[in-house]
Amino acid sequence: MRFADKSDEEKDSLIANDPLYGHIICRCEQVSESEILQAIHRPVGARTVDAVKRRVRAGMGRCQGGFCGSRVIEILARELGVSEYEIRKRGEAAYMLSHEDDEAAK
């Protein structure tokens, strides 16, 4: 059962045991950082933004990842030990960020 579907008492208990349940990454779908970490660290874990989306629904809400997308990228990069530039939306060449974005911002 997803965190969003639990009763307030169940949520409080989960947060007491793992404070990252209280850190909501996706506001629209009420997805916690703990749920995202679990999706990444499962056997055959999530390695792309779309894989996180399919497993825990982060980015499937009304804003379509407009709010949480960058946060999901940060978490994936941190947990996989790679640069944010190496995080992909899905397959081989679908990178979420490029160094060209940095150049355009200057």
Helix or strand run (H / E) with residue 50: helix 49-56
Tell me how crowded residue 103 is: count the other CB atoms within 10 A of its CB: 8
Confidence (pTM): 0.87
What is the radius of gyration, based on Cα positions, of the chain?
A: 15
Question: For the chain, what are the domain ranges?
Answer: 3-105
Which of the four pLDDT bands, split at 50, 70 and 90, describes residue 101? low
Which of the four pLDDT bands, split at 50, 70 and 90, describes residue 103? low
pLDDT in tens, 2-59: 999 999 999 999 999 999 999 999 999 999 999 999 999 999 999 999 999 999 999 9
